Structure 1
Amino acid sequence: MTTARTATPSTARAINDRLALDLLLERGPLTASDLRALTGLSRPTVADLLERLQRGGLVAVAGESGEQRRGPNARLYALAADRAHLAGIDIRSSGVGLVVADLAGRTLATARVPAAPQDQDLAERTVKALAEAAAEAGAAHLHTVAVGAPGLVDPATGELANSGKLPRWHTELLAALRSRPGTDVILENEVNLAGVAEHRVGAARDREDFALLWLGHGTGAAVVLGGRLRRGASGGTGEIGFLPVPGTVGLPSATGCEGGFHSLAGSAAICALARRHGLPVPERGPQPHAEPVVRDAAGAGADAFLDELAERIAIGAAAICVVLDPGCVVLGGEVGRAGGPDLAARVERRLAGLSPFRTEVRVGAAGGGAVLAGAVVAAGDAARRDLFGGD
């Protein structure tokens, strides 16, 4: 049973209100009796907080419980999810994905804005698509928008450190979003948001400590310790593509990760490994795509290829484990998901021989929309802090 802390009357009311709101968010509609049982609060205190939250527009009556007699004690109270609306945005080189959600995180509308070569108006088209999705969702205003973008995000300023390698429309889009009156914009590294999604709704829901190893076109990591996302002094925690590793032709530099872990486990390196093992590699555009190669290899039981791939992945995972000892590594990104439980098991076995610490390896469960799912979680947390109060 969760109990409220003793405090001054005004602080106690704020704590009790937040406690009740968090329970309604987590469990859905509850009766006053349910809230008393879950919080340990008295009947008058629960009655007062429900009246206060209804006046504030944060809670509404959502029907009656069929398990109790009709009347006041049977009323079901629910979070007023339409009290505020949120958006999550995933910026990729291929375009932008976005989702509009309510205060409870339920998806109300989605859109995809593809990028074209030398795209000059993608920022404008994305803002228009966001407005149309918000209108479809019945949202006159977006309280908070969370954006996942590649690159370093300075934890102190919240600004994207653009080294000149990102398209101009990335920064144009951020500027356009921040110009919307009354809307808070949160910027976060996209792999960090995927880590947030795995922690809250994915494979690491039962873990306070874990690392997400992102395996896609490039490589990256998100680190959660003590239940909190860790960013580092400059936002660089998890930039594992720069990790110097054996088996490459050189060393990475301050301006490029070639020669680092990226050269072992990035998409191009995995496709080259597959060709060496005689596996077919489909050609789709200028960049090789490892996802179908790994999926087909896992389905066909291509043991030699999968063992060597697991060896490479374990090298990067071992570096994380011997420094941070997270106890759990989640394989995410397109390649991590494509390899499935078979690849995860191979990585875990190899990792056991490289690290003195017992580490479980799991497959990411947040799916292909992990970045967007994490963005909605981040936006929802920020909006609820503003509306509910508290940390």
Structure 2
Amino acid sequence: MNESATLALLLDRGTLTRGELRELTGLSKPTTSDVLRTLTEAGLAVVVGHTSGGPGPNAEVYAINPGAAVVAAISVRDTTETAHAPYDAALCDLTGAVLAQAEFTQERLAAAADDPVDTVRLILADLCATAGLTPDRLTHLQLGVPGSYHPGTDTIRHIDLTGWQRPGLVGDLATRLDLTVAAENDVNLAAIAERHRGAGKGTDSFVLLWFGAGLGCAIDLGPSLLRGATGGAGEIGYVPVGLGGQPRDMQELVGGPAVLALAATYGITGATAEDAVAAAVADSGADAAGFLTALADRIAVALAAVAALLDPPLVVLAGEVAQAGGDTLRDLVVEAFHRDTPLRTPVAVTALPDDAVLLGATDAGLRAVREALIDSLRYALTPA
């Protein structure tokens, strides 16, 4: 317990001296020395420097050994309605420092022939070569997928990518790559990134609404995410809108193709939905304003459904469309929301400029590895 507590402190604080660790843990000097010796001999902690300028001898400064674990994160994208590459991936060490990151096109992965296992193997091999590592250094792989993962059946559901819906895929990846592998809905991972790095930081809980080529909703409960009985919580795109007419569901109201079609009626064009929204934000004309107002009216429908059912303390608008719209679109959404409902849920727009799914996958993978290290250390040092 002493070793695992000390390891947790080093992970949380970054660097600590022996004296600082003693104050934080309440351990005696000899016990603190024994704990640090155990962690350094196990390769989990290293001396990174010495203090100077104070009375007495200089104190050693300890930190986590960044090479004690290497985490891989892969964001799998449905590229049907987007210009992005289908895969974005990164490697990071135990401190979270990025060792390699790249986007992968279908052409770059042609040798995989639509086999997810071969695809992932090629991605990891490429990243390891860039980072100067051998693949056996990898500890954990976190996948972000445009669907919901049901651990009971080891199946990624609601996904329209060749091979990725095969039952047993995640377990097969773990076996064939000799890694710990976890899969998570992409919007849930975006919420994890928002919790650690964005508008959700410091809040008790929040809901993230994702507007891009597809729709999604992640429900952050503070210590955990609400995933539902089969991992499908938040699949808001399937919610019917209207009775017996069009649009048939929420996806057809405010999904990427619907946003492009709406933009076209106002004379706004773009290769993708986010391009059309960005063009409208940059345009001061009446048609652009009309398009953004009409889009905000539609987004407010999704916002009202979430706010009425969950009454969250905060809703964060995220995804490519929300990022492109920024504060301009957010203000119009709030105006429509307040006009059409008596609800007054606070609404923010994501402040994350990068691929939020990949950031969240990295954060989730690091958390899993760190918890596993602490648990394994606790188990290894427990007397039989």
Q: TM-score, normalised by structure 1?
A: 0.83
Q: Secondary structure of the equivalent of 1:366?
A: coil
The aligned counterpart of 1:156 is 152
Structure 1: 4+ residue segments shifted above 6 A: none
Q: 1:103 aligns with which of 91, 94, 108?
A: 94
Question: Cα distance, 1:176 vs. partner?
Answer: 6.1
1:201-243 deviation digits (Å, cap 9, x = unpaired): 2221112311111111111111111331110011111101012
The aligned counterpart of 2:381 is none
Matched, 1:137 2:131: yes
The aligned counterpart of 1:270 is 259
- Matching residue's letter, 2:36: L
Sequence identity percentage: 38
- Matching residue's letter, 1:232: G
Question: Cα distance, 1:173 vs. partner?
Answer: 7.5
Matched, 1:76 2:61: yes
Q: Secondary structure of the equivalent of 2:16?
A: coil
The answer to whether the 8 Å contact 2:206/2:313 transfers is: yes
The answer to whether the 8 Å contact 1:333/1:368 transfers is: no
Cα–Cα, structure 1 residues 355 and 103, in superposed 2: closer, same or farther, change >3 Å? farther
- Matching residue's letter, 1:78: A
| Counterparts of residues 366-385 of structure 1 (less than 5 Å) | 366-385=352-371
The aligned counterpart of 2:382 is none
Question: Cα distance, 1:293 vs. partner?
Answer: 1.2
Q: 1:190 aligns with which of 173, 180, 186?
A: 186
Q: 2:104 aligns with which of 113, 119, 126?
A: 113
Q: Secondary structure of the equivalent of 2:99?
A: strand
- Matching residue's letter, 1:85: V
Alpha-carbon distance between aligned partners in 2 of 1:364 and 1:61, rounded to the nearest angstrom: 38
Cα–Cα, structure 1 residues 181 and 152, in superposed 2: closer, same or farther, change >3 Å? closer
The aligned counterpart of 1:6 is none
Alpha-carbon distance between aligned partners in 2 of 1:238 and 1:169, rounded to the nearest angstrom: 20
- Matching residue's letter, 2:113: D
Q: 2:175 aligns with which of 158, 175, 179?
A: 179
The aligned counterpart of 2:280 is 297
Cα–Cα, structure 1 residues 313 and 245, in superposed 2: closer, same or farther, change >3 Å? same
Q: TM-score, normalised by structure 2?
A: 0.84
Q: Secondary structure of the equivalent of 1:105?
A: coil
Question: Cα distance, 1:357 vs. partner?
Answer: 4.6
* RMSD (CA atoms): 2.8
| Stretches of structure 1 lacking an aligned partner (at least 5 in a row) | 1-13, 251-257
Question: Cα distance, 1:113 vs. partner?
Answer: 2.1
Matched, 1:26 2:22: no
Alpha-carbon distance between aligned partners in 2 of 1:326 and 1:64, rounded to the nearest angstrom: 47
Q: Secondary structure of the equivalent of 1:100?
A: strand
Question: Cα distance, 1:51 vs. partner?
Answer: 2.5
